[in-house]
Amino acid sequence: MTDMVPDRFKMRYPKLEHFQEPNVITTTADFIFSWARSHSVFPFTYGLACCAIEMLSSGFARFDVARYGMEVFRPTPRQCDLMIVAGTVNEKMAPVLKRLYEQMSEPKWVISMGACATSGGPFYDGYNVVNGVDKLVPVDVYIPGCPPRPEALFQGLLELQVKIQQHKFVAETPKPAAQNPKPAAVTPAPVAGEEA
Amino acid sequence: MGLEIGTNPMDMDAIAARLAADFAAELTDVRVQEPDTVVARCERAALKDVARRLKAHAEIGYETLNFVAGVDKVRHLESVYHVYSWKTNTYLELHVEVPKAKAEVDTVCDVWPAADWHEREAWDMVGIRYLGHPDLRRILLKDDFVGHPLRKDYVDSAENHPHA
């Protein structure tokens, strides 16, 4: 049975040393913290379009994201460390999304769920569409589909768990900030009824 | 004023004839388009007056505004008002031609308050300026958006995509 699990989903257990005393295990801090982190991810409910329906249905009993310890969807970024961008990001939402990402607690991850969040999808090149959320925030895992089924979301979450387990706790290099080529321009104050 | 639905059932042709007679100076091209809809064209300058009289009409009385649409007809723009009469349980579609060079038309917010957001959307998407509107801002797009994207001659600009 274990042979059916792909290598990339297997946890990388370091050497565990057992002592004579019961219930004592020594291991590395890296292992214990990344193990705890990867199994207690708090996702941020960032549903923007129909992908959100799949994301929420994966939270309920039929698919049950709680099996991965990720059932605690939070509506505030301050209690979250995973942003599942589920849907089309448009230009009006872009500064809001960026601000919410910055408000999330470190360490934090982003999943781009579905074609829209990944590249704009069917709305690519629309007059009000951002062609992929990776233009705004760094993305860890991309999930294809329109919309992806909950199983696809779970595969993405498992890939993310593997990624989280690679983090080094002791000498962890900080995650780079959002890669934005241009500094955010100051939004000019709107003038009511004026045509630009 | 209680809303009495369908208390004055009138034949569609009778409604069209009645409108054509009562608004002979303002409405043109009055015709029945669908089983429950009369379509008419209205002069731009007369819109506000026509709207008031349509709403206050004794027998038909278009009391409810369902929708305001902005349309780009390439040669000109159009502001289309979909209004509903409770008494006769019928609709009226009022087309107002707006020239592109001077895309302005009087607001009907003070006649039908529902027009507020609809006119903002038509301004946002098609660029029809509603004179006398209490708060004519963009409603769907961001405030610093350049242009009106549902115009046929709209060309997407890099200014509207600062993150690309």
**CA distances in angstroms from B117 to A192, B67, B136, listed in the order given:** 14, 10, 9
From CA B117, how far away is CA A38, in angstroms rounded? 46
List of chain B residues whose C-beta atoms are within 8 Å of the C-beta of residue A131: 161, 164
Q: What is the pLDDT of residues B72-118, one digit of tens each?
A: 999 999 999 999 999 889 999 999 999 999 999 999 999 999 999 99
Q: Which of B136, B137, B163 sits opposite A135 (nearest CB)?
A: B163
Is A103 inside any structural domain? yes
- CA distance, residue A8 to nearest chain B CA (Å): 33
Whether ipTM tops 0.85, in short, is no
Is A69 inside any structural domain? yes
**Yes or no, beta carbons of B145 and A192 under 8 Å apart:** no
**Yes or no, beta carbons of B141 and A193 under 8 Å apart:** no
Is A189 inside any structural domain? no
Is A195 inside any structural domain? no
Residue A1: the pLDDT is 43
Is A61 inside any structural domain? yes
From CA A53, how far away is CA A143, in angstroms rounded? 15
As beta bridge partners, residue B129 has B104
**Yes or no, beta carbons of A131 and B164 under 8 Å apart:** yes
Q: What is the pLDDT of residues B20-72, one digit of tens each?
A: 999 999 898 999 988 889 999 999 999 999 999 999 998 888 999 999 999 99
Percent of chain B with pLDDT over 70: 97
**Yes or no, beta carbons of A128 and B162 under 8 Å apart:** no
CATH number at residue A71: 3.40.50.12280
Burial B44-70 (b: 16+ CB within 10 A, else e): eebbbbbbeebbebeebbbbebeebbb
- CA distance, residue A41 to nearest chain B CA (Å): 29
| Residue given tokens 């993305």 in the structure block | A139
CB pairs under 8 A between A and B: 55
The contact set of B with A (CB < 8 A) is 123, 127, 129, 133, 135-138, 140-147, 149, 154, 156, 160-164
- For B12-160, CATH number out of 3.40.50.720, 3.30.460.80, 3.30.420.240, 2.40.30.10 equals 3.30.460.80
Q: Provide the residue ranges of all domains of chain B, joining segments of one domain with +.
A: 12-160
User: Could you tell me the pTM of the whole model?
Assistant: 0.77
- CA distance, residue B41 to nearest chain A CA (Å): 26
In eight-state DSSP terms, residue A125 is: T
Higher pLDDT, A18 or B49: B49
From CA B126, how far away is CA B144, in angstroms rounded? 16
**Yes or no, beta carbons of A128 and B156 under 8 Å apart:** no
Q: What is the pLDDT of residues A24-83, one digit of tens each?
A: 777 777 778 888 888 889 999 899 999 999 999 998 989 999 888 888 898 999 999 999
Token digits for B64?
């409810």
pLDDT of A15 over the 60 cut? no
- The residue segments making up the domain with residue A84 are 42-156
The residue in chain B having the minimum alpha-carbon distance to the alpha carbon of residue A98 is: B163
The domain total for chain A is 1
Residue type, A12: R
